[in-house]
């Protein structure tokens, strides 16, 4: 049976899903010295990779796939990079299109089921370091897309070992969850970021005719469902939001995964519902699934005072990947 209920120590002050989710994003994190590399794509666009190099010999590279509107500045990304640096393992952040601080060149952008760009990065890394294994860690949206990639590719996957954290494996249920209660705060914050990038493209003489909406419609899009229906779906070849969510939800791909993979969820994740929790029959034998009562969304605080928390997540990822 794959569906293991797990526990880690949680301080009294962190037994709240919003504390778990929000606190890590407010605390100041140390800066990292990263080397940027740009991959040109066949369609004329680009992907930016941020490298945390190491002089130590290593048998692997850790690829970090960030969440919606994240990047190498995201606290959870920085914590994993720091762990890799401490252990002498090179790490690289794959930025989804438009997430590296510069809007991408095309009208299209990225979405929860984009796996071709992953394949481009993984193929490049195999060419660059043919003797190294690729260990991929996907957070939230990046985790959902990684689950889809692993299920699509099966034995052809270029990833040798994977971890998926706080992934919205049922997109429609998660979009609905973010329309109610305190969770609307997260939705509002992320939608504003997406609106800014979309507005920039609508103002571009080169791109505005390729955009599927008018500037006047943009600020009417208050929910992920609305944004995905009028922007994400048409830009990426889906019939509508329902088609997009149905084809890109990661849950349906899990039973085909052949790569050793750890999936971590928290029951109190304010981005999720029970719909994301797989049943044993939906998981392949290659998947280790762990469900924790606390952790919020990509939080998993396990100790320390609120101004200097300690985290469970990196130790668990490190153990599974033998970092």
pLDDT-derived band at 116 (thresholds 50, 70, 90) equals very high
Mean pLDDT of 110-135: 96
Tell whether the model's pLDDT for residue 72 goes beyond 50. Answer: yes
Tell whether the model's pLDDT for residue 305 goes beyond 50. Answer: yes
Cα dihedral value 104, 110, 114, 118, nearest 10: 40
Report the pLDDT value the prediction gives residue 3, as an integer from 0 to 100.
53
**Owner of token pair 């004329």:** 44
The residues annotated with a catalytic role in the active site are 140, 269, 297
pLDDT-derived band at 310 (thresholds 50, 70, 90) equals very high
Task: Outline which parts of the chain fall under CATH 3.40.50.1820.
Answer: 3-170+250-321
Cα dihedral value 169, 104, 234, 190, nearest 10: 50
Tens of pLDDT along 2-29? 557 789 999 999 999 999 999 999 887 7
Tell whether the model's pLDDT for residue 62 goes beyond 60. Answer: yes
Report the pLDDT value the prediction gives residue 1, as an integer from 0 to 100.
39
**Gyration radius from the chain CA atoms:** 19
Tell whether the model's pLDDT for residue 119 goes beyond 80. Answer: yes
% pLDDT > 90, the chain: 90
What is the CATH topology of the domain spanning 3-170+250-321? Rossmann fold (3.40.50)
């Amino acid at each position: 049976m794959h569906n293991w209920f797990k526990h880690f120590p949680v301080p009294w002050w962190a037994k709240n899903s919003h504390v778990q989710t929000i606190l890590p994003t407010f605390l100041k994190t140390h800066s990292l010295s990263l080397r940027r590399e740009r991959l040109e794509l066949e369609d004329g666009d680009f992907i930016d990779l941020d490298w945390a190099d190491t002089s130590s010999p290593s048998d692997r590279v850790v690829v970090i796939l960030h969440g919606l509107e994240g990047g190498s500045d995201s606290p959870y990304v920085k914590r994993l990079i720091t762990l890799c640096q401490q252990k002498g393992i090179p790490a690289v952040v794959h930025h989804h299109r438009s997430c590296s601080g510069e809007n991408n060149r095309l009208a299209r952008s990225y979405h929860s089921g984009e796996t071709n760009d992953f394949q481009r990065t993984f193929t490049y890394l195999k060419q660059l370091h043919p003797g190294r294994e690729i260990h991929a860690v996907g957070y939230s949206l990046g985790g959902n897309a990684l689950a889809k990639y692993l299920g699509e590719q099966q034995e052809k996957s270029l990833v040798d070992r994977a971890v998926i954290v706080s992934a919205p494996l049922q997109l429609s249920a998660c979009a609905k969850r973010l329309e109610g209660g305190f969770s609307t705060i997260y939705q509002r914050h992320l939608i504003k970021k997406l609106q800014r990038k979309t507005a920039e493209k609508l103002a571009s003489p080169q791109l505005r005719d390729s955009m599927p909406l008018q500037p006047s419609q943009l600020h009417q899009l208050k929910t992920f469902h609305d944004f995905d229906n009028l922007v994400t779906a048409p830009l990426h070849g889906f019939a509508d939001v329902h088609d997009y969510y149905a084809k890109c939800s990661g849950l349906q791909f899990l039973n085909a995964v052949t790569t050793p993979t750890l999936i971590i969820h928290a029951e109190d994740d304010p981005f999720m519902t029970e719909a994301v929790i797989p049943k044993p029959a939906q998981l392949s034998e290659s998947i280790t699934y762990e469900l924790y009562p606390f952790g919020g969304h990509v939080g998993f605080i396990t100790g320390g005072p609120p101004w200097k928390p300690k985290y469970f997540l990196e130790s668990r990822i490190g153990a599974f990947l033998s970092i």
